[in-house]
Structure 1
Amino acid sequence: MNILVLAAGEHYIDSDDKNYPFCLSEFLGKPLIQLIADQINFNTGKTVFLFQDKHIKKYRLDNIVQLLSNGKFHSVSVPEDTAGAACTALLGVVSLDQDEPLLIVSANQLLDINYESFASSMNDSNNDAGTVIFDSVHPRYSYVVLEKDIVVEASEKNPISRNATAGVYWFKKTAFFTDAVKQMIRKDARVDNMFYICPSFNELILRGMKIGVQKIETSQYHPYKSISHFESRKAVNEKL
């Protein structure tokens, strides 16, 4: 399986911590990037971390990825600005085997799930793609509409349901994602002038493909997009 870890946007930078990438912020004694690496260490295929080129050079993130995986994982640099997460991810998949499954995760969050089990479940259910959802109505998230637990519509920054996606996306073939994003770009299907990953599901739906979901509790989703998120999480753990 191909795994992409997205950590290339400016929103992955912690302005409250000397502008270090959020993935280097320590939580429970470990950098977030190490916790994520531990979760995806099962992968025997290609695992790629995407960082901005300037951050690789400044913080030696390529060395960190190598050390965390004993040389198994790779890092890819992307330009300082892209037209959104979907375009960033597209840069990461162009050199990957397009027939392999693809798992995309974000480097500024943690989910209390087993990614290997999630991918296996999506495949065993004969899905062409899939995502993890939790209950929310906040417009910061992407959303999917379900019919009998199958995705029939996807949106970004627009609560069209209570099914927010947790920033994790699986595709039965990497080519499904690649083709969907290229089609979005052809249609200029932007949101706030950016191309996002979740709306790529709409291109698959138009092709009659099946998109499944795994539901989690809100307590299993831990976004780390500001220092306050880290502090809140630390406070919760101190009470346990």
Structure 2
Amino acid sequence: MQIIFLMGGQNFEKNREDYPLYLTEINEKLIIEKQIDYCKGLHPRKFLFCVKNEDIKNFQVDSVIKQLVPDSDIIIINGPTKGAICTALLGIDYIDNDEELILLAVDDFIEVSSENIMNFFRNDKSDAGVISFDSVHPRYSFAKLDSNGRVIEVSEKKPISKNALVSFYYFKKGSDFVESAKNVIRKDNLINGSFYLSQTFNEMILKHKKVSHYKITNEKFHPLKTEMQLAQYLTELMDIKESK
């Protein structure tokens, strides 16, 4: 198994420095560190990190990563891309075509065992898999299911169900992701000027691949893409601490 962390999101100002949000400390651990710990139970053969060159230059993020995962590979994002698909494809030379692949946004926290999720996808004999929670906010991507709970359509920024997707995408084979991603780009199917990872699942569905769906409760999902979301999560942690 290989895991690719996507780390090309916007930075926010903290103490007059434009720190990447994933360098925020929560309970004495960086967000990126907590995410790595979350995935270690899967025993991946390789961690890959797509990192903005400016973050490497300004905050030595490559050194941070190497302290946390010494044998990882760092894929440098030298400038703006046309979305997460293009960012992930920067690592195409590192992706093993016959190996399981997970693409994970560094700023989405899931409080459900990664081992349980992967066991579900494997036991379901999935070619690919997504995780959802309940929302109809158009900031998310969405999965429509059939009567058996199988994904039959995915949309981006357009609610077609209440199954909003977490930025955790599973492929049984790396080659399926690469081929699907290339097909999205060939079709030039831009959404608001970008190509989104969710679009690759429609390509899988068109090939009659099995895309499975794992549902989590909203309390188990914490998006940390904005300073406001981070503040809300920290407040929740404080409330939990005070209630004990």
Q: Shorter-chain TM-score: which interval?
A: over 0.9
In the TM superposition, what are the counterparts of 1:115-126 in structure 2 within 5 Å? 115-126=114-125
Distance 1:211 1:34 in 2: 29
Task: Please say if residues 143 and 151 of structure 2, whose CA atoms lie closer than 8 Å, have aligned partners that are also in contact.
Answer: yes
Task: Please say if residues 16 and 227 of structure 1, whose CA atoms lie closer than 8 Å, have aligned partners that are also in contact.
Answer: no
Structure 1, unmatched stretches of 5+, are none
Q: 2:206 aligns to what?
A: 206
Q: 2:5 aligns to what?
A: 5
- TM-score, normalization: structure 2? 0.93
Task: Please say if residues 56 and 62 of structure 2, whose CA atoms lie closer than 8 Å, have aligned partners that are also in contact.
Answer: yes
Q: How far apart are residue 7 of structure 1 and its match?
A: 0.3
Is 1:72–2:60 an aligned residue pair? Answer: no
Q: How far apart are residue 55 of structure 1 and its match?
A: 1.1
Q: 1:191 is paired with a residue of what secondary structure?
A: coil
User: Residues 124-149 of structure 1, C-alpha deviation per residue, up to 9 Å, x if partnerless?
Assistant: 21110001100000000000100121
Q: 2:228 is paired with a residue of what secondary structure?
A: helix
Query: AA paired with 2:57?
Result: K
Distance 2:45 2:141 in 1: 28
Q: How far apart are residue 52 of structure 1 and its match?
A: 0.9
Is 175-184 or 118-127 further displaced after alignment? Answer: 118-127
Q: 1:47 is paired with a residue of what secondary structure?
A: strand
Q: 2:180 aligns to what?
A: 180
Q: 1:197 aligns to what?
A: 197
Q: 2:94 aligns to what?
A: 95
Q: How far apart are residue 228 of structure 1 and its match?
A: 1.6
User: Residues 2-45 of structure 1, C-alpha deviation per residue, up to 9 Å, x if partnerless?
Assistant: 10000023x3x123552100100111221101101111123231
Is 1:21–2:52 an aligned residue pair? Answer: no
Distance 1:59 1:3 in 2: 23
Q: 1:162 aligns to what?
A: 162
Task: Please say if residues 136 and 164 of structure 1, whose CA atoms lie closer than 8 Å, have aligned partners that are also in contact.
Answer: yes
Task: Please say if residues 56 and 62 of structure 1, whose CA atoms lie closer than 8 Å, have aligned partners that are also in contact.
Answer: yes
Task: Please say if residues 134 and 217 of structure 2, whose CA atoms lie closer than 8 Å, have aligned partners that are also in contact.
Answer: yes
Task: Please say if residues 3 and 44 of structure 2, whose CA atoms lie closer than 8 Å, have aligned partners that are also in contact.
Answer: no
Q: How far apart are residue 95 of structure 1 and its match?
A: 2.1
Is 52-61 or 144-153 further displaced after alignment? Answer: 52-61
In the TM superposition, what are the counterparts of 1:135-174 in structure 2 within 5 Å? 135-147=134-146, 148-174=148-174
Query: AA paired with 1:170?
Result: Y
Query: AA paired with 1:79?
Result: N
Distance 1:192 1:67 in 2: 37
Distance 2:156 2:105 in 1: 16
Q: 2:54 aligns to what?
A: 54
Task: Please say if residues 143 and 159 of structure 1, whose CA atoms lie closer than 8 Å, have aligned partners that are also in contact.
Answer: yes
Q: 1:158 is paired with a residue of what secondary structure?
A: coil
Q: CA RMSD in A?
A: 1.3
Q: How far apart are residue 50 of structure 1 and its match?
A: 0.7
Distance 1:56 1:29 in 2: 22
Distance 1:57 1:120 in 2: 39
Distance 2:204 2:13 in 1: 37
Distance 1:93 1:123, change over 3 A: farther
Distance 2:26 2:63 in 1: 20
Q: 1:35 aligns to what?
A: 34
Distance 2:92 2:37 in 1: 22
Which segments of structure 1 move beyond 4 Å, counting only runs of 4 or more?
none
Distance 1:210 1:238 in 2: 41
Q: How far apart are residue 156 of structure 1 and its match?
A: 0.5
